[in-house]
Amino acid sequence: MTAPVDAILARLLALHPRRIDLTLDRMWRLLDALDHPERRLPPVIHVAGTNGKGSTVAFMRAMLEAAGRRVHVYTSPNLVRLAERFRLAGPDGGTLVSDDELSEVLEFCEQRNAGAPITVFEIETAAAFMLFARHPADVLLLEVGLGGRLDATNVVERPLASVVTPVSLDHVEFLGDTIAKIAFEKAGIFKRAVPAVIARQIDVARDVLIERGEAVGAALHVAGQDWVAAEERGRLVFQDTDGLIDLPAPRLFGRHQFDNAGTAIAALRVAGLGLPVAAFEQGLVKAEWPARMQRLTAGALVSAAPAGCELWLDGGHNAEGGRAVAAALGDLEERVSRPLVLVVGMLSTKDVAGFLQNFVGLALRLIAVPIHQDKGLPPEDIVATARGLGLPADTCVGLDEALARIGALDLDPPPRVLITGSLYLAGEVLSANGTPPR
């Protein structure tokens, strides 16, 4: 009888003292012990980047499924349950792996690892390859966990396409303290003669990605050079060497989602999958990706929120992610003006000032809450940073108190509330609201 997933993860945490330790040596050893499931995968589209990876994958999945293709998806991190990382192909969008099957595969990988040092993410990725090799599919959308060059997913020798979404500063303790260093790590997923799609980037990131892609002999497809995606009169216009397509606006909210949707279309077109325009149209309006400018309209927290307010959730946690969210909020303000109140929880490893700076002059007030993680930043530290930027701020012990505090402000019209700063906080929100990803 297999153990519960949580019990297996607790055992695995003891096998390696560091949760993140970038190298492929342990991964290759385990894959060899598993008889190389990575060689039996469906065709792969490999996606790296700092921001927009998950949204780009969500668009690709929706477009592929609209064309009748069966799609496996591997993403990270999960928000509420580990099973969210493993979506198995099937009708009506497939299904998350069952806890029983996930436990069985994790335990099998644990046994084959035989007590050797290994990180939890490496075991999870090996388990994903076992699952995806076991179940038939037409395409596997494989999201990098961290970086690219030494990420556990970077063992697929010849994907259909490699994709790098926007690169910015994040995880500097592991990837380097400059955009150039981080872009170098992301470019590590490029392979000789494999199409490499480079999303819109700041100049230094784009230059490094192009240089590394050319060095390995990848077939480069660069935003702004080989393809263009732009918003025109509320629609998405995409153009590449195969022609121009006029498409509806993405369902996912925010002007940055036009870029992410364009990256998805570019990747699917260069991958040679032959999708009709109708699949792009349907995918754009059906894509879902929790905790990315997600409006919460039902659930326990929605009921506890001030009457008449809008409740939004976004897991953004770095400066560039904050910029995209602030721009989306600005667009909302132009449509319907409401006072904006932020509920923020962050990790101590993040650039709090860089993230919050985006909301100065936009938010009326910030309320800081704790995140129940080892590296959760004390709310008092968030408040100190916010006040230093000129943003009025207070602390609360949790989400319920924060919503009650916002109600006591007696704002007219009722406020627009954004809960943000961490995917871990987003997971707590979805769990408390009773609306976990499915």
Largest Cα–Cα distance of the chain, in whole Å? Answer: 63
Same domain, 308 and 410: yes
DSSP secondary structure, 229-247, as one string: EEEETTEEEEEETTEEEEE
Which residues are CB-neighbours of 224 under 8 A, at least 6 positions away? 200
Same domain, 71 and 120: yes
pLDDT of residue 244: 96
List the structure tokens of 90: 């099937």
Same domain, 275 and 355: no
- Say which CATH number the domain at 192 has: 3.40.1190.10
- Say which CATH number the domain at 332 has: 3.90.190.20
Three-class secondary structure of residue 357 per DSSP: helix
pLDDT of residue 19: 60
Same domain, 159 and 299: no
Same domain, 275 and 350: no
The DSSP bridge partners found for residue 37 are none
Same domain, 323 and 281: no
pLDDT of residue 14: 76
Q: In which residue ranges of the chain is pLDDT below 70? A: 1-2, 16-20
* Domain annotation covers residue 345: yes
Same domain, 139 and 214: yes
What backbone torsions phi and psi does residue 320 show, to the nearest 5 degrees? -70, -40
Same domain, 27 and 147: yes
* Domain annotation covers residue 48: yes
Question: What's the angle, vertex CA 352, arms to CA 347 and CA 354, rounded to 5?
Answer: 140
Q: Which of 286, 320, 345 is the last residue of a domain?
A: 286
Taking the model in full, what pTM does it have? 0.94
- Write the pLDDT tens digit of every residue in 366-392: 999 999 988 899 999 999 999 999 999
Same domain, 244 and 279: yes
Q: Which of 243, 269, 286 is the last residue of a domain?
A: 286
Q: How many domains does the chain have?
A: 2
Whether the CB-CB separation of 331 and 415 falls below 8 Å is answered with no
* Domain annotation covers residue 219: yes
Q: Which of 233, 267, 286 is the last residue of a domain?
A: 286
In the numeric block, the tokens 């629609």 are attached to 235
Whether the CB-CB separation of 283 and 63 falls below 8 Å is answered with yes
Same domain, 40 and 188: yes
Count of other CB atoms within 10 angstroms of residue 118: 22
* Domain annotation covers residue 438: no
Q: Which domain holds residue 365?
A: 294-433
Same domain, 16 and 72: yes
- Write the pLDDT tens digit of every residue in 169-226: 887 888 889 999 999 999 999 999 999 999 999 999 999 999 999 999 999 999 999 9
Residue type (1 letter), 190: F
pLDDT of residue 176: 85
Whether the CB-CB separation of 58 and 173 falls below 8 Å is answered with no
